């Protein structure tokens, strides 16, 4: 979406939209060229609907990768974030279970079951966002400033032994949760196709995030024969 972000800002537009190849995903730019990912799109729409008393039940579905700052923002608005596994079929499953009117991922794959059905539709997502902006008479940049995402980091580690990782890392995961003390989350999951362990850590403060991440990475290296293949800061990303 970099091009759309640049064009939205350079042309003085209030909002820009970028679709993926088959237009089942949409992400946006505000007038200052800042990325509005799926979390923030859902947040704008949900806060708007909740403010009008039209979000019933007051629940949205995200995933284990949805940002903690997004969840805290929803909570302030009286909206609960229900987390599903990553993948649209899992999001739709939780939508069915909770009766939520919206669910989606940071990537911009957003489902409006009552409007479109059990699949993402980028054009519908864009129309719903534009409608919310129009009804609120606010620019996208004004909504953008409503919350800051929590610092979020993903580390991919190639490992010699993936089996038994939960047992091997049990004490380290417990220690991580204790250090975070409700101020963040840890998600550790193996790749479904490669000998790789993915470690995601987020916290409300970057230093805390980094300390917990470093401790877990060291544990994976020591106990599973791992080595770091890549580190990705997901704080402002599409969750890729």
Would residue 23 be called left, alpha or beta, if left means φ above 0 and alpha means ψ between -120 and 50 degrees? left
The arithmetic mean of pLDDT across residues 93-119, rounded, is 96
Question: What is the reported pTM?
Answer: 0.92
> Has residue 127 got a pLDDT over 90?
yes
184 or 115, higher pLDDT: 184
In angstroms, the CA 58 to CA 51 distance is 11
pLDDT in tens, 160-177: 988 999 999 999 999 999
> Has residue 240 got a pLDDT over 70?
no
Q: Who contacts 89 (Cβ-Cβ below 8 Å, separation ≥6)?
A: none
In angstroms, the CA 76 to CA 99 distance is 21
Q: Who contacts 137 (Cβ-Cβ below 8 Å, separation ≥6)?
A: none
Q: What is the pLDDT of residue 145?
A: 86
pLDDT in tens, 58-105: 999 999 999 999 999 999 999 999 999 999 999 999 999 999 999 999
**What is the CA angle 88-89-95, rounded to 5?**
85
- Domains of the chain (ranges; CATH) run 2-144 (3.40.120.10), 152-233 (3.30.310.50)
Q: What is the mean pLDDT of the chain?
A: 96
> Has residue 3 got a pLDDT over 90?
yes
In angstroms, the CA 93 to CA 99 distance is 10
pLDDT in tens, 8-18: 999 999 999 99
Q: What is the pLDDT of residue 219?
A: 98
């Amino acid at each position: 979406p970099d091009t759309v972000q640049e064009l939205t800002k350079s042309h003085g537009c209030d909002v820009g939209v970028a679709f993926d190849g088959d237009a089942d995903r949409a992400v946006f730019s505000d007038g200052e060229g800042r990325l509005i990912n799926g979390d923030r799109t859902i947040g704008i729409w949900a806060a708007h609907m909740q403010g009008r008393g039209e979000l019933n039940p007051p629940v949205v579905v995200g995933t284990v990768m949805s940002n903690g700052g997004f969840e805290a923002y929803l909570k302030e608005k009286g909206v609960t974030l229900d987390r599903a596994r990553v993948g649209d079929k899992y999001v739709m499953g939780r939508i069915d279970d909770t009766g939520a009117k919206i669910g989606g991922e940071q990537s911009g794959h957003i489902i409006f079951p009552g409007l479109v059905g059990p699949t993402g539709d980028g054009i519908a997502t864009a129309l719903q966002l534009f409608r919310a902006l129009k009804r609120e008479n606010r620019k996208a940049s004004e909504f953008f400033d409503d919350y800051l995402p929590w610092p979020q980091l993903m580390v991919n580690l190639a490992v010699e032994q993936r089996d038994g990782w939960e047992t091997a890392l049990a004490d380290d995961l417990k220690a991580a949760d204790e250090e975070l003390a409700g101020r963040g989350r840890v998600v550790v999951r193996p790749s479904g196709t490669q000998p790789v362990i993915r470690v995601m850590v987020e916290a409300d403060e970057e230093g805390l995030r980094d300390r917990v991440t470093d401790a877990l990475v060291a544990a994976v290296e020591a106990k599973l024969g791992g080595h770091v293949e890549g580190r990705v800061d997901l704080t402002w990303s599409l969750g890729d």
